[in-house]
């Protein structure tokens, strides 16, 4: 397998397909690089070099006990970009992965980047606070962590209903996709899965987003039951001058699958735009 070893000895797995301008994908919780297979295959066929990695603690990467915070995630991403000597790269982050994009830019700048994409992302801040009353209450995230500790497999299986919107009457998600999602999620460490709930819910990316001095595309579903549009996507787009906001009507959180054709074309159009 293709891996890099980070400064603290953690192995980060990545897949690297195609040739051309690099597009780097950061996955959502509690998944891994495989969630991007439709986008990666599509863009590689269109002449791009596509790279997706498993966050520490997830997928085929190492499962250290510590390090499940966005400063560490951003530094892991920076080490991958530097190891592959990527330039003019486009960062694409989904859900939790949107925080990787934001904190990378906040800590490492944009010198190796050309564009950024936030898809259903937790940016600029997810949790409800005094100065972010639109956010999700802390009790929701405490409940997620309690569910993981009690019966991780069943909790994650049940979570698919809001992730994919299968609790909506017009849902067309196959049993195979739900099985694949659960299989991917269960590859992760329990510790990493729990700790990342704290990381993606409580990390404030508002200062990081002030450093987005590059073309930025924000994509979000208006029926996202996991990361609500009004509390995240709309505010993220407003925080980045000149950014584009594309709202997918009726789309759930997992639009990388449910709306994959639309997402693929929107990513391609954004990559090709001058």
Strand order in the sheet with 89-94: 3-5, 11-17, 49-53, 22-26, 89-94, 113-119, 216-221, 244-248
Query: Angle at the Cα of 93 (from 89 to 94), degrees rounded to 5?
Result: 155
The tokens describing 148, both together, are 């993981």
- What residues contact 57, with CB distance under 8 A and at least 6 apart? 63, 64, 67, 68, 188, 189, 191, 192, 193, 195, 196
- What residues contact 137, with CB distance under 8 A and at least 6 apart? 127, 128
The tokens describing 183, both together, are 């299989």
Longest dimension (CA), the chain: 50
Number of neighbouring beta carbons within 10 Å of residue 246: 16
What is the spatial distance between Cα 124 and Cα 231, in angstroms, rounded to a whole number?
A: 9
C-alpha gyration radius of the chain? 17
Q: Where in the sequence numbering do the catalytic residues fall?
A: 95, 224, 253
């Amino acid at each position: 397998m293709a891996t890099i070893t980070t400064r603290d000895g953690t192995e980060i797995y990545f897949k690297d397909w195609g040739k051309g301008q690099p597009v780097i994908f950061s996955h959502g919780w509690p998944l891994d690089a495989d969630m991007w297979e439709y986008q990666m295959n599509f863009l590689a066929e269109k002449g791009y070099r596509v790279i997706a990695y498993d966050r520490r603690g997830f997928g085929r990467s190492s499962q250290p006990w510590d390090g499940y915070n966005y400063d560490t995630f951003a530094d892991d991403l920076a080490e991958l970009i530097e190891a592959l000597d990527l330039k003019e790269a486009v960062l694409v982050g989904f859900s939790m992965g949107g925080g990787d994009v934001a904190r990378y830019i906040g800590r490492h700048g944009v010198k190796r980047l050309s564009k950024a994409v936030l898809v259903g992302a937790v940016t600029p801040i997810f949790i409800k606070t005094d100065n972010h009353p639109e956010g999700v209450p802390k009790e929701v995230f405490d409940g997620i962590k309690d569910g993981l500790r009690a019966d991780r497999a069943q909790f994650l299986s049940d979570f698919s209903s809001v992730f994919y919107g299968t609790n909506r009457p017009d849902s067309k998600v196959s049993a195979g996709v739900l099985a694949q999602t659960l299989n991917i999620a269960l590859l992760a460490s329990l510790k990493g899965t729990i700790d990342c709930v704290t990381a993606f819910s409580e990390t404030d990316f508002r200062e990081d987003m002030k450093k987005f001095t590059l073309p930025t595309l924000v994509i979000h579903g208006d029926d996202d039951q996991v990361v609500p549009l009004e509390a995240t996507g709309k505010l993220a787009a407003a925080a980045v001058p000149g950014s584009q906001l594309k709202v997918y009507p009726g789309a759930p959180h997992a639009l990388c699958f449910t709306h994959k054709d639309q997402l693929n074309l929107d990513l391609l159009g954004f990559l090709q735009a001058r």
